[in-house]
Chain A
Amino acid sequence: MIVTRNWLNEFIDIKETSDEELCIAFNAIGLELASTQKFNIPNKIVIGEIISCEKHPDADKLNVCMVDLGFSKRQIVCGASNVVDAKYVAVATIGAIMPDGLEIKHTKLRGVESDGMICSANELGLPNIGNGIMMLDESIGKLELGKNLNELPMLNDTVFELEITPNRGDCLSVYGVARDLGAYFGKDLIEIKEENNSKKIKLGISREATLNVQGDIDASVEIKLAMQHGDYTLPLLCMIRLSSAGLLEKDNLQNISQYVMHTTGVIFWLFDADYFKNDESKISIDIEKSENSLNCIKNPFGKLSIVGVEQNKDSIANSKTQQVILVAQYINPNILNDIVSDKKIEKDSIFYNTSRGSNPSLESGILYMTNILSKYEILDIYDGVLSHKVNTEEKTILIDCIELNSIIGQEIDRSTVSNILNKLGFKVSSKVENVIGVTIPQFRPDITNIQDIAEEILRIIGIDTIEAKPLKIKENPHRDSKISEYRLKKQIRNRATAVGFYETISYVFSDAALQEKYNFENIKSEFGLLNPIVTEMNVLRSTLLINMLSSAKRNSNYSKKIIPIFEIGSIFDENRIESEKISFLWSGQKELESVSNHGKPENIDMSTFLQKIGFVVGNFDLQECSFKNALLHPYQSANIVIDNKVCGFVSKLHPDTQDDFDLSDTFVAELDMDALVQKHTLANEISKFQPSIKDLSILIDKDLSFDSIKKVIEELECEKLNSFYPIDLYMDKSLGDKKSLTIRFAIQSLEKTLDDSELEDVMSKILDSLIQKSGATLR
C-alpha cells in the first residue's frame, strides 16, 4: 500500500509532522514501513509558459519554444513531441543541477540557441507519467510563472510504501491509513464532504436506468450515471500519485476509478452503459444470486459480473465510452470468502481488497468520485443514485477493562481506551463498572473479541510504553524423553565433527527419477507432491545419500580433495511414513596434506571409515548386506547391526555411481537414528586375575565371513572366554581357495588364574567346534 504525505494530508492534518515522525508512527501502529522516497526537485526548476513553438529549421524532431518565465523570456529547444500541445511546463534554467548530476548550460542545438531545458517528470526525479515533457496544471497548485517548482507543496512530497497485514483491509486506502494515523496522533479525520458540483446534469438517473434486485443479496451497491464528453487529460496530481502507487494505466477513465479506489477504499466498477441497454434502449441492471450463491450484476442478456470478484471484460468502460455507469460496491469479506471458497473462478485484482475488506461507506466513495469528476470537469453526472443496501446490524461487544489490562499486562485507564477506540471509528458506551460496550464499525470485520480490542489499544498507545514483566514460573518439570533425545543427537553430532565430518542440511526433497535410477523407493502416487517447485525436488526423499552425493559432487567441482559430510534428517518411505536417519559420506583423501604424510595423504579406506563411524555411533557389528541399491559396492558393503538389530548399511560407493558424481574413492553409510539410543548399562564384575591371551590361526574357505565364525564361537557360550577378535588375515595363491585367519582370544576366570591345561581346554573346544561347523583346519 502506497501513500504520500500530501495525499494523507487530505484527510488528516500532518503539515507540522516530519517524515521521521510519520515513519515512526507507521511502524508503531503496525503498518510496517517498507520504504520511503522523497521527491527532490532540484532548485532553479521553474514554472514556465510556452508562448510560441516552432519547428527547428534544421532538425525534424526538435522544436524551438519561447518560454515565459515571468521574470524573463527564454528560447529553449525541446526534443519532446508533446511540447506542441503544452502550455505550462517545468523549465530547468541555466545552472540547475538535475538529479542525474547533469548541469544545465547555455547551448546551441543544430545552430539554434537554447537557454534551458523543458523537463519530463522523470528528469525531475518524479515518478514516470509517460513519454514526453510534463505538462503542468493547477491540480498541483497555483501556477505562478518563474516560481520554483519545489516550492509547490504538492510536488514537495514523500512516498511511503507500507506493508498491510491481511487483517487490515481498512488500511488499503489513503483514507484508511489516515484514520489510523489520526488515532495515533490524536487528530480528527477530515471527512469527505460534497463540494460544489457545477457540472451536474439535472436529469435524474432513474429516468435512464432501473435497478432490479432479486433475492437475498449480500452486497451493497450504489450506482451513478455519467456522460463523458470528449478528450480530457488526467490532472497532473492524480497522474503523479497513481504512478507513485504503481497504478498508472493508459486509459484515463480507468485511472480515475483507480485513483478514487486507492484514495477512499471504496470499490468501483465503471461499465459502458450500452452494455446494460435492453431492447428498448433503457438501462436495465439486475442484481441477483447465481445458482452457486455468487452475487451477480446482470445485463439484460444474462451476462454476469460477480460482485467483489470479477467484472465482465466486455462491459468495462474506457475513455471512449459515452455514457458510463459507476457502481460502488461492498460485500463483507467473511461472507465473500465463504462464497468464493472452493469455486474456481477468475478473480480481478480488486479481489485482493474485497476479500480483505473494502470501504463499506459507499456514499463517501461516490462523493469523492463526483467531487473529482466535476472539479476537473471530466464527466457530467446525472442527479440521483440507484442503490441497494444490505442491512447489517452493528455488532457491540462488552469489554471488561480488567481483562483487557491482564492481556496487555499493564493498567490502561478507561478514558484512554475510549479515546483510542473513538478515534479508530468505534463507538464506546459505558456499561457497568469496568465494562464498556464497544460497537464495531462495519469497516473492521477483523475485530470480534477482547483480544482484538487489546491489539488496537496496544498498537496505538505503543508497545514501547508497556513495561516488560517476567512471567511467574510454576514448577513444571519435563520428564519426557524428548530433551534427552535432543541431547543425545547433539552428542552424536559433536562426535561426528570431532572425527572430521561436516554437518550438512539438504532439502527433504529429491528427484524421483534419480531415486529410481539408484533403486531407492519413491512415494506412491496417491501420496505424491501435487505442486513441486522444480523437477529436481519433485518428491520427498527416501534417502539422505543422494542429496549428499550431489553436495559431494559440488565440492569436488570446487576442487575439494577431502569431502567428509554427515547429515541427520527425515526421509519418507513409499507410504510417506517419516523416519529419521543419520548418514555419512567420505570422499577423497582421509586427511589433509601435511608434513606427517609428506603431502601425500592416502585416500579414505573402509577400515578408517568404519573406525570413524564407530567413534560417532559406538560399537556395531557388520553382517552380510541385505540392502539393494545402486550405491552399494556388491563386495564391500554390509548391514550395520546394533544390539542385534539391522539398522543400516555401510558400503564403498559403487564405481558406476562414483563416476556419475565425478568422485574419487567414496564411502557411505546410512543408519536409523532410532537405533542410536542412549544405553543403560549394568556393570559386570571385574576379574581380579590376569586374562590369558591366545592366538589361533585357522584355514577356512575364502568366502566364509568372520561373522559366521563368530557365531560358531558364540554358540559355545564359553564362560571363560572374555573376548575375541580377528587380528590378521592372510591370502595367498599357495592357499588355493582358502584363507588364513588369526583370531585373538582373551581367556579369564573370576575365581583364579587359569593354568595351562584349563586354557588348552578352552582353546581346543573352540578349535573343535570350528573344524566341525566351519570346515576350518589349524594352520
Chain B
Amino acid sequence: MKDLDILEKNILSCKNIEDIEKIRIDIFGKKGVLAKEFIKLASLSAEEKKDFAQGLNSAKERLQTSFDNHYASLKKALLEEKLKSEKIDMSLYGGVSNKGALHPVAETMDKIIEYFVSLNFSVEKGPMVEDDFHNFEALNLPKHHPARDMQDTFYFADSKLLRTHTSPVQIRKMLSSKPPIRMIAPGSVFRRDYDLTHTPMFHQVEGLVVEDKGEVSFANLKSILTDFLQYMFGSVEVRFRPSFFPFTEPSAEADISCIFCEGKGCRVCSHTGWLEVLGCGIVDQNVFNAVEYENVSGYAFGLGVERFAMLLHRIPDLRSLFEGDIRLLEQFR
C-alpha cells in the first residue's frame, strides 16, 4: 500500500467533483488501493492477519473521513458556483405590479359600512326608481313644501322619480319590519345638478336607529357620530351645528376640524377651519306616523360618500370620479 499520507494528500488536492470521483475509484473501488490491500489478507497467518486488518481498517476509516469531508466541501463549492451563475438583478422586476384598484368612492363606502356593521347595524338596500311616498311624503316632505327645493329631482313619465337620497330605504325598512331597528343604507342617489361641485349621481350612506320611546336621544347621536368621524378622519375635532332636515327634529350638521389646515383656516374650508361632513337628527314624529310606528324614538343620519372620499384622498375634482380615468384610479393600487 502506498503511503497513507500520500493517498490522503491526493484526496485533498482534488479541485473538482470529477477528479475526486476518479480518486474514489482509485482508492475505494473494487480494484482500488484498499481492495488490493485486503486481498493481501488472505495470504497472511492468523497472527499477522489481526494486526494487518486492524491497521488496514483504521487507514480506511481515515481515508474515508478525509474523502467525505473534502467531497462535501467540493459539492458545496459547486452549488455555490451554480447559484452564483443564476444571479439576476432583482431590482429590475420591482414596481411592475399589474394589480388593479378599487374605486376610491367604493372603497370609502366599504370603510364606512365596516364601521357600522361592527356596531351591529344591518346593511339595507332599496330601489333607485322610487315613488313620491317613499322619497318625500313619508319623510315629512309634503308636496309643494319649500324644502323640496333643496333637492332637484329627476322625474319619470309615470310620476315615479329617481331617489334624491337614501332616506326612502329607512321607510322601506320600517314598513317591512318591527322595531328595534339599527340599519345603514349605502347607495347611489340622484339630483338634477351638474357643475364643478355637483354630479347628477352620487353616493350616500344613510343610518337609522329605532328603539322604544325615550331610549334614543340627541346625546346618543353625538356619541356615535363623533366616534365614527374620528374613525374615518383620525384625531379630528367634531362640532355639531343646528340645521334643518324635514325628516329629523332636532336636526344638526356635523363638521370636522379641517384636515388640511388643522383648523387654522385655508381655501378648502373657506377659511372657517371646519369642514361640513354629515347631517343628522332625531327622527321626526311625522316620519314614524307615516309608517305607523307608535311609542318609539330614533335617530337618523346621512352622509355623502364622495365628499368623504375626496377629503380622505385629497381628490381635487368630483367629476373625475365618474370618468373611469385610470390616471386617477391607478394611484389607489
Contact = CB atoms under 8 A, between A and B. Distances in A.
Q: Do A and B come from one complex?
A: yes
Nearest to A552: B324
A449 B289 CA distance: 13
Contacts of A356: 146
Given A459-B242, A508-B188, A578-B127, A498 B99 contact: yes
A496 B100 contact: yes
Interface stretch (B19-27, B34-42, B63-71, B101-109): B101-109
Given A466-B218, A476-B180, A497-B101, A592 B250 contact: no
Nearest to A478: B122
A646 B238 CA distance: 51
Given A29-B242, A449-B285, A486 B123 contact: yes
- Identify which of B93, B98, B201 gathers the most chain A CB atoms within 10 Å of its CB: B98
Contacts of A473: 119-120, 182
A508 B144 contact: no
Interface string A160-193: 0000011110000000000000000000000000
Contacts of A478: 120-123
A505 B106 contact: yes
Contacts of A564: 100
A502 B330 contact: yes
A548 interface: yes
B218 A470 contact: no
A592 B322 contact: no
A406 B147 contact: no
Interface string A461-497: 0011011111111101110101100100010011011
B282 A168 contact: no
A565 B324 contact: yes
B278 to A, nearest CB: 14
B241 A576 contact: no
B131 interface: no
A-B residue pairs, 4 tightest by C-beta: A409-B219, A409-B217, A551-B324, A30-B242
A502 B219 contact: no
Contacts of B239: 464
A332 interface: no
Given A463-B252, A529-B157, A537-B200, 12 more contacts: A166-B147, A454-B218, A458-B218, A464-B240, A470-B223, A474-B211, A478-B121, A498-B100, A555-B325, A555-B326, A563-B326, A595-B92
11 contacts: A166-B149, A167-B147, A452-B249, A458-B250, A470-B223, A471-B216, A478-B120, A501-B100, A502-B324, A508-B201, A558-B325
A493 B113 CA distance: 15
A413 interface: no
A407 B96 CA distance: 57
A167 B244 contact: yes
B232 to A, nearest CB: 17
B32 to A, nearest CB: 44
Interface in B159-196: 160, 180, 182, 188, 190, 192-194
Interface size for chain B: under 10, 10 to 19, 20 to 34, or 35 or more residues?
35 or more
Contacts of B92: 595
Interface size for chain A: under 10, 10 to 19, 20 to 34, or 35 or more residues?
35 or more
A338 B142 CA distance: 10
Interface in A642-697: none
B219 A466 contact: yes
B117 A483 contact: yes
B241 A30 contact: yes
B241 A503 contact: no
A530 B150 CA distance: 19
Nearest to B299: A471
A502 B144 contact: no
Contacts of A464: 239-240
- Identify which of B127, B239, B282, B333 gathers the most chain A CB atoms within 10 Å of its CB: B282
B187 to A, nearest CB: 9
A32 B241 contact: yes
Interface string B86-101: 0000001100101111
A337 interface: yes
A486 B223 contact: no
B180 A474 contact: yes
B323 interface: yes
B201 A470 contact: no
Contacts of A566: 100
Interface string B49-90: 000000000000000000000000000000000000000000
Interface in A723-778: none
Contacts of A497: 99-102, 333
B290 interface: no
A143 B251 CA distance: 48
Interface of A: 27-30, 32-33, 35, 165-168, 333, 337-338, 340-342, 352, 355-356, 403, 406-410, 449, 451-452, 454-455, 458-459, 463-464, 466-474, 476-478, 480, 482-483, 486, 490, 493-494, 496-509, 525-534, 537, 540, 547-548, 550-552, 554-555, 558, 560, 563-567, 570, 572, 576, 578, 591-592, 594-596
Interface of B (DSSP majority class): mixed
Interface of B: 92-93, 96, 98-103, 105-106, 110, 113, 117, 119-125, 127-129, 143-147, 149-150, 154-158, 160, 180, 182, 188, 190, 192-194, 199-201, 209, 211, 214-220, 222-224, 226, 239-244, 246, 249-253, 270, 272, 282, 284-285, 297, 321-327, 329-330, 333
Contacts of B201: 507-509
B240 A165 contact: no
A621 B54 CA distance: 76
A522 to B, nearest CB: 13
A455 B251 contact: yes
Contacts of B128: 508, 570, 578
A554 B324 contact: yes
Contacts of B155: 529-531
A759 B88 CA distance: 47
B199 to A, nearest CB: 8
Contacts of B120: 473, 476-478
A168 B220 contact: no
A162 B82 CA distance: 78
Given A478-B122, A486-B123, A554 B323 contact: yes
Nearest to A473: B120
A468 B297 contact: no
B93 A594 contact: yes
Contacts of B123: 478, 482-483, 486
B129 to A, nearest CB: 6
Given A486-B113, A500-B98, A595 B241 contact: no
B243 A165 contact: yes
A532 B154 CA distance: 7
Contacts of A570: 128, 188
Contact of B324 (A455, A468, A469, A548): A548
Contacts of B250: 407-408, 451, 454-455, 458-459
A185 to B, nearest CB: 16
B169 to A, nearest CB: 11
